[in-house]
Amino acid sequence: MYKKYKSLLNNLKDMRSVLVAFSGGVDSTFLLYSCLQSLSSENVLPITVKSQFIPEKEYNDAQSLAQKLGVHLKTIEIDVLSNSDVANNSAERCYFCKHTIFSLLKKEAESRNIQHMLEGSNADDISDYRPGLKAIKELNFKSPLHDVGLTKKEIRLLSQEFGLPTWQKPSLACLASRIPYGTEITSQKLTEVEKAEDILFAYGISNPRVRHHDTIARIEIPPDEWNKILDPSVRDNVISELQKIGFNYVTLDLSGYRQGSLNEVFKK
C-alpha cells in the first residue's frame, strides 16, 4: 500500500501542473490531497461540476473540504438534462454524461495551458458496469489512483492515516443512478429522490438509496439498519413523508443496499 502511494506521489510530481475533477468523495479527496503533497497549490486546480445529478449537500461538502486542504475550488454549472442522450437514460447514459461534463473540464484545462487532467477512479472500479470510464479515456483524463493499483480499502486506510475526514464517507453515486435505465430522467424525479434520501438520513440511516420506480419508492439500506426504519413510529413517518413527496407506495428492498443494483439487469 505504501509502495503504491510513493509511486503515486512520484507520478504526480512529474506532471508539474494538474486539473483535478473534484467531487468531495473518498477518492477525489485523496487524489487532491496527494496532488497537494507533490505539487505547489498554485499548480493544482480542483474543479467541481454542479448539475442536477448531485445533491446540494455534496457541493457544500466539496467546498468545505477544499478550504480545509487550503486550495480554491472552481465550480462550473451545467444543465446535463439538456443533452437528450443523458435525459433518455439508456444503458450508455453515464458515457454521455461523463463526456459532456469532462469536455467542459478539458476546455478549462486547455484555456489555462494545463496538460494533465486527473480523475479519481480506483483499482476496484473496473468490477462494475461503468461506461463513463470510456468517455474519461477518450478525453485523455488520467486516473492516477487506478494506475498505481490503489483499491478503495487502501485509499480509506491511507485517508485515515493522513487525517482526511472522508476516510469513512459512504460511497455515493449520482442521483441519476436511482432511476432505472430506459426511464426518462427529469428534474422532478431527481428532486424527489434527493428529498426522500434526505428524510432517511435524518432518521439515522447511514447510506440510503431510494430507487425511483414512477409512483413506487424502493428503499435500499443495509440489513443491519432495518431495525431503524422498521420501528413503527419511524416507518409510519417515512411512509407519510415520502408520500407527500409524490410516491404512492413505499417499499423496503429485502436484498438490502448493494452498489450498482440497477446494473443487475446486465448480469441476468
CA dihedral 48, 49, 52, 54 (to 10 degrees): -30
Judged against a pLDDT cut of 80, whether residue 255 lies above it is answered with yes
Distance CA 219, CA 261 (A): 12
pLDDT tens column, 227-242: 999 999 899 999 999 9
**pTM higher than 0.85, yes or no?**
yes
Considering the domain architecture, whether residues 127 and 24 belong to the same structural domain is answered as: yes
Summarize the confidence of residues 197-224 as an average pLDDT: 94
Weakest mean pLDDT among 76-90, 94-108, 124-138, 236-250: 124-138
Q: How many domains in the chain?
A: 2
Digit-coded pLDDT (tens) for 46-87: 999 999 999 988 999 999 999 999 999 999 999 999 999 999
Let me know how long the chain is. 268
222 and 152 in one domain?
Answer: no
Task: Say how many C-beta atoms besides its own lie within 10 A of residue 232's C-beta.
Answer: 7
User: Are residues 128 and 211 located together in one domain of the fold?
Assistant: no
By C-alpha distance, which of 68, 44, 42, 79 is closest to 186?
79
Q: How confident is the model at residue 257 (pLDDT cuts 50, 70, 90)?
A: confident
Confidence check: pLDDT of 165 > 90:
yes
- Residue 169 located in a structural domain: no
Assess contact for 142 and 152: CB atoms under 8 A.
no
Q: Say which CATH number the domain at 179 has.
A: 3.30.70.2210
Enter the C-alpha cell of residue 164: 482526511
Asked, for residue 140, whether it belongs to a domain, the answer is yes
